[in-house]
Structure 1
Amino acid sequence: MKDIITLIRPKQWIKNIFVIFPIFFGHNIYDLKTWGNIAILFLAFSLAASTVYVFNDLCDKEIDKLHPEKKNRPIACGSISNNQAQLIIVSLMVLSGSLLFALGLPKGLYAGYCIICYLIINIIYSLWGKHQPVLDAFFVASGFLLRVISGCLVASIVASHWLFLMVFFVSLLLAFGKRLEDLLIAEDKKGEQSTRPVVKFYSSQFLFATLTLISAILLVLYTLYCVDSESIELHGKYLYTTIPIVSLGIIYYLRRVIVDRKYCNPTDLIFKDHGLQAIIICWIIQFYIISYVIA
């Protein structure tokens, strides 16, 4: 059981929090029925994501053996066989699909379409996309975008176009941050074969510049979102006061990555860096007060 839990990587389920974004930004957090539907969607997407993780581990079995950490994954180290992994994939897909029936029609159907698209995109990514420089990051970003779209459909919310753009670039930040982590690991191995072959098409200078560019675009998008007339109508006229703390979070992340070369993977940064955790919590509190209390 421990090997199965390790294989499906529940720690990574935090990425599926993107399905919650529509109700938070859509000013709909007090609807308990919507929260129930979103919780079901979160779990269904998490199981689908675990399906992708297992499939990807099957595809990368041999190359994972070269990675200092991934070599201990159940499939790479042999504690779970290929046949057992395939059975787990089928089980996860069935469980994910079964949960969607609880959403009823048409929401369950819409969510199902999004999850099927997510699985197809990730199968293509695992077999081909992850070997294509730059395009590999866009494959990853599309998966996060589908999470937000499914959240909008299940919550019956028409999200702002600014939200979709911000999610897309946040997703690119996550993806290129992960590429930087893999590149630094490859450089530490001093010429040995990389555990992610696509990193040979990258350089640390390029990735630092890319992360900086994406961060700048994100800050501009968030600023435009805060001063947009629809956003002001929904969240109140003081939303712009959250821009400084968002700026702090972005600059803090860039310093940790570029100067300290720590937590290049943003997921690890969120879990381990108390400074960024404090910034995120402060932003959530400030956004809630401005949008839900004052407005």
Structure 2
Amino acid sequence: MKSNLLKLIRPHQWLKNVFVMIPMFFGGSLLDPSDIRASVVTFFAFSFIASSVYCFNDIIDVEADRRHPVKCKRPIASGAISVRSAWALMALMFLLSVGTVCLLDTYTHVINVGLVILIYYILNILYCSKLKQYAIVDVCIIAFGFVLRVLAGGFATDIALSKWLVLMTFLLTLFLSFAKRRDDVLRMNETGEPPRKNTIRYNLTFINQAITITASVTLVCYIMYTVSPEVVNRFHSDLLYLTSVFVLLGLLRYIQITVVDKRSGDPTKMMLRDRFTQCVVLLWALTFLVLIYVIK
């Protein structure tokens, strides 16, 4: 029972909520105890609310999941957990998120971060209920959800966000979302049945072009961020553009996984398993840290 409850709330997907720590990382306050605490609290608040959404999604999609070759193993679809228990777990995760937000230092922080999380929750409830049926709209909502994570992290730490950082977050997650949809298109082409209702509005030609466009614009946006006057002045370094090499390598690797290996169905699992990607991310982070915290 315990393992099925964990499968339902998907704690491995909490990795996505690391995005709330982006403002602290790029803001140069990675060693500030108060910002660390605020970011960690926001991380868990977002994780609990995301788990509440996962419960709702599996409740809504239970019949469709039972017909899916992989999703039929999910706890509700397989009958391991009842729908009634799933509703209760959904409510519990919501309450845990509310309680966690209240741990933030000030009333203003609680209100601002809480409002962002509420917007995320409502948007994703609408997404699960109806909006995910519309092609392009679905991936845009997913990408905007990550922007909301970054905004929550900024509000929690009182760190002003660069417009380039916000755009980059949206574009990168849009790229990953299109790559994930490519996996659905491949499955539809093999089985003749679309995994999602909106999969019929995608095909390989469109997906491949969308992946190429979003990857290219993401790289350009990152370079513009590293050379922007506000960033150079904040970190007192004009060498941040060097980290663009790792961003390019990361994007190319993910395109390789998507197009050549054909295993882009779950970006989170890929990040946890692919050593090349992990090394690239680690080298990028270490280089960035050295440039903004060591070389001044």
TM range (shorter): over 0.9
**Is 2:98 aligned against 1:121?**
no
In 2, Cα distance between equivalents of 1:101 and 1:269:
33
**Is 2:71 aligned against 1:64?**
no
Corresponding residue to 2:141 among 135, 139, 142: 139
In 2, Cα distance between equivalents of 1:181 and 1:65:
19
**Is 2:11 aligned against 1:10?**
yes
TM-score (structure 1 length as normaliser): 0.96
**Which residue pairs with 2:200 in the alignment?**
200
**Which residue pairs with 1:282 in the alignment?**
283
Work out the percentage of aligned pairs sharing the same amino acid: 35
Structure 1: runs of 5 or more not aligned: none
Partner deviation per Cα, 1:238-281 (whole Å, 9 max, x = no partner): 11111122111112221221223233532232111111111110
In 2, Cα distance between equivalents of 1:24 and 1:212:
28
In 2, Cα distance between equivalents of 1:164 and 1:111:
16
Instruction: Give the AA of the match of 2:125.
Output: I
Instruction: Give the AA of the match of 2:294.
Output: V
The alpha-carbon deviation at position 194 of structure 1 amounts to 2.4
Corresponding residue to 1:160 among 162, 168, 182: 162
**Which residue pairs with 1:218 in the alignment?**
218
TM-score (structure 2 length as normaliser): 0.96
The alpha-carbon deviation at position 67 of structure 1 amounts to 1.7
Partner deviation per Cα, 1:14-66 (whole Å, 9 max, x = no partner): 00000000000011111111111111110010000001111011111011112
Segment drifting more, 174-183 vs 213-222: 174-183
Q: Is contact 1:27–1:291 with CA below 8 Å preserved after alignment?
A: yes
Q: Is contact 2:182–2:264 with CA below 8 Å preserved after alignment?
A: no
In 2, Cα distance between equivalents of 1:270 and 1:2:
22
CA RMSD for the aligned pairs? 1.1
**Which residue pairs with 1:239 in the alignment?**
240
**Which residue pairs with 1:175 in the alignment?**
177
In 2, Cα distance between equivalents of 1:197 and 1:73:
19
**Which residue pairs with 1:85 in the alignment?**
86
In 1, Cα distance between equivalents of 2:114 and 2:167:
23
Segment drifting more, 46-55 vs 31-40: 31-40
In 1, Cα distance between equivalents of 2:265 and 2:294:
36
In 1, Cα distance between equivalents of 2:159 and 2:51:
27
In 2, Cα distance between equivalents of 1:276 and 1:263:
13
In 1, Cα distance between equivalents of 2:198 and 2:41:
35
DSSP 3-state at the match of 1:237: coil
Segment drifting more, 174-183 vs 210-219: 174-183
Q: Is contact 1:252–1:276 with CA below 8 Å preserved after alignment?
A: yes
DSSP 3-state at the match of 2:103: helix
Instruction: Give the AA of the match of 1:179.
Output: R
Aligned residues: 293
Q: Is contact 1:48–1:96 with CA below 8 Å preserved after alignment?
A: yes
Instruction: Give the AA of the match of 2:285.
Output: I
